Structure 1
Amino acid sequence: MSPTLPADGTEFRALLDRLSDKATADYYNPYTAFDWPPELPAGEFWMSPELLTVHGTELMDELPPDRLRALSRWESVHFYSLNVHGIRELLIEVMRRVHTPGFEVPSEFFHHFIGEENDHMWFFATFCLKYGGKIYPDKTLRLPEPARDPRVENFLVFARILVFEQIVDHYNVHLAADDRLHPTIRHLNRLHHQDESRHIAFGRRLVRLLWEQLAEAGVDEATRRAAGDYIGRYVTASVESFYQPGVYRDAGIPDGFALRRRLLGHPARQAAHARVLHKTTDFLTRIGVLDDGR
C-alpha cells in the first residue's frame, strides 16, 4: 500500500505545485554551470576547518598546517564521495515509486527531483575524479532493517532520504558561505543547497504524512517503534560515516582506525554531531519518530 493524500490533498498539492514551479524557475544546465579549473590550490583549505572531523580536539592544534590542509582536501573529496553514493541510493528508491499506485500526486515533482539529483551526482563525481583522482568507496554501515510491510518500507525510504539531505545541507550552507574556500567549491555547494532546500521541504511533508498514516492504517505500535528505532540508528550511522580511516591515511595521519575510534568518543565531536543533526532530530522527535532525549 502506498500513501494517500490527507482529506482532499489541497495543501499537499499546493506545496508540490510551488516546489515544481520553483524548480523550473531555478533550472540550470550543470554541464555549463561550472568553469572547472585544471587544479585547486593544494595550499588552501578545501573544507572549512570548523567542519573537519578533528575540529575541537587536540589534533586540531597538534597537526602541522600542511597536514591540516591535506586533511581538508581529502575530507572534501570524501564528503562529495558520500554524496555520490547517497544520491545513487535515493535515485534508485524514488525511481521505483514514480508513477506507481499511490504516488500519482507527487510523481510530477519526482521528475524534478530525479533530474536534479542526477545532476548533483554528476558534479560531485566530477569534483572527486578531477581533484582527488578517485571516488572513495562506500563504507557506510548497513543496518539490518525491521520486518515491515510496504507502508513501513515507504516511510523508511523517505525518512532515510530526508536524514541524508538535511545532514548534507548543513555542510552545504557553511561551505557556500566560507570565503576562505575556492570559488568552485563555494559555487558547487551553493547550487546544491538551492536544490536541496526544495527537496527537504518536500521530504519533511511526505515523511510526516507517511508516519501519520502508519497509525491511521492500524500498523501496531511495536512495528512503528521498531521503525523509529531503525531511523535513530540510521541518523547515528550517517554522521559517523564522515570518519573515514582511508581519508586519514591519504592525509598522512597514521593508524586511521584508532583515530576514528578516538574521535567518535571525543566530547567535542559529540557536540559537533548534535549541531549537525539538530534540525533532523528536532523534526523527527516533534512528529513522534524519535523519542524525546534520543
Structure 2
Amino acid sequence: MVSELINADNRFLEILNRLTNKSIDDYYNPYKLFEWPDRLPEEMWWMSPELTTTYGTLLAGKFSEKELYALSKFESINFYSLNVHGIRELLIEVTRRIHTKGFETPSEFFHHFIGEENEHMWFFAEFCLRYGRKIYRQPAGASAAIPRSAVESLLVFCRILIFEELVDHFNSRMAADDRLDDTIRAINRIHHQDESRHIAFGRELVTMLFAKVKSTATELELAEIADYLRRYLTYSFESLYNPQVYQDAGLADPLAVRQELLASPARAELEQNVFRKTSKFLKKIGVM
C-alpha cells in the first residue's frame, strides 16, 4: 500500500512537517493582498518577451514593437487561463484523495495545498477577466483519460508536477522582470512563493509513488508510463501556442501562425529550457 511506504519514510514526514509549517507561516489573504488598477498600460510587455511564443522566430521580425506588446498581452491572458484550468484539474484530483486509504500521511498538507491552489485560481481568473475580459477555453486534449489502474495516482501527481514546474518557470522569471507592470510581477511573485513548496512536495510524492509502482510493474507497463508522460509534456507546452491568442492579436490565419511557430527551432529551445529541471528529475528517478 502507498500508506505503508509513506509511513515508513521519516524523511518524507520531516519534509511534510516543514512544508506544512511554511504554509502556515507564509499565509496571506489574496483578497486583500492585491491592488487591481482599472487598466494596465497597453504599450508595454505583459509577459517577458523571452517567454512569448514568437521570441527568436522569423515571424517576430515582421512585427512592430507595438504589435509585439499587443501579442504579449493576449499570451499572458492565455497563460493565466491555463493556470485556471490546470488548477481546477489538480484540485479535483487531490480532493478525491484527501483522507483516503493510501494518502493518510500527506492529507494534512493537502488541506493547505487545496486552500492555496483555490486562491491561486481566483487571482489568475480575476486578472484574466479584468484585463482580458475572458478566460480562454481549455485546450483540446486536456482531459485525456488517465488509465484507471494501479498507476493512476502516479500519473495524476506526475501531471500535477509537470503543470506546476511549467508555470513556475514562467512565474519566477516574470516576478523579477522590471519591464513588466507591478501588478503582473506581484501575482507571479506570490504564485512562485507557494509553488516552490508544492513542487518540493510533488517531487517527493512522485518519487515514492513511482518506487511503489516500479516494484511490481512490467517493462512494458513502465514503458507505457514513460510514453504517456512524454506526450503530456508535449501537450502541456503546446497549450501555450493558442490560435485564439493570435486571432485576438490581429494576426492573419492564426492556425498557420501556430504551425509555423511550433515548427520553429526557437520553439524546441524554449521547450527544452522550460522543462529542463522537470526532465532531469523524471529521468533521475527513472520514470522516463
In which range does the TM-score fall when normalised by the shorter chain? Answer: over 0.9
SS in 1 for 2:151: helix
Match of 1:184 in 2: 183
Displacement of 1:67: 1.0
Give % identity.
Answer: 55
CA distance in 1, matches of 2:133, 2:205: 38
Match of 2:174 in 1: 175
SS in 1 for 2:225: helix
Alpha-carbon contact 1:3-1:213 (below 8 Å) kept: no
SS in 2 for 1:258: helix
Match of 2:72 in 1: 72
Displacement of 1:221: 2.1
Match of 2:250 in 1: 252
SS in 2 for 1:27: coil
Q: 1:113 to 1:146 in 2, by over 3 A?
A: closer
Give deviations 1:104-123, integer Å, cap 9, x for gaps.
Answer: 10000000000000000000
RMSD: 1.3
Alpha-carbon contact 2:7-2:105 (below 8 Å) kept: no
Instruction: Indicate whether 1:166 and 2:181 are aligned.
Output: no
Instruction: Indicate whether 1:285 and 2:283 are aligned.
Output: yes
CA distance in 1, matches of 2:270, 2:258: 15
SS in 2 for 1:139: coil
Match of 2:130 in 1: 130
Alpha-carbon contact 1:148-1:223 (below 8 Å) kept: no
- The code of the aligned residue for 1:270 comes to A
Alpha-carbon contact 1:39-1:131 (below 8 Å) kept: yes
For normalisation by structure 1, the TM-score amounts to 0.95
* Runs of at least 4 residues off by over 6 Å: none
CA distance in 1, matches of 2:26, 2:266: 38
CA distance in 1, matches of 2:164, 2:2: 22
- The code of the aligned residue for 1:163 comes to I
Displacement of 1:175: 0.4
Q: 1:106 to 1:146 in 2, by over 3 A?
A: closer
Instruction: Indicate whether 1:61 and 2:58 are aligned.
Output: no
SS in 2 for 1:119: helix
Match of 2:211 in 1: 212
Q: 1:104 to 1:146 in 2, by over 3 A?
A: closer
CA distance in 1, matches of 2:160, 2:110: 13
SS in 2 for 1:156: helix
Match of 1:225 in 2: 223
- The code of the aligned residue for 2:170 comes to Y
Match of 1:198 in 2: 197
For normalisation by structure 2, the TM-score amounts to 0.97
- The code of the aligned residue for 1:160 comes to R
SS in 1 for 2:55: coil
SS in 2 for 1:4: helix
Give deviations 1:205-228, integer Å, cap 9, x for gaps.
Answer: 000110110122x12221122111
Unaligned runs of 5+ in 2: none
Unaligned runs of 5+ in 1: none
Q: How many residues align?
A: 288
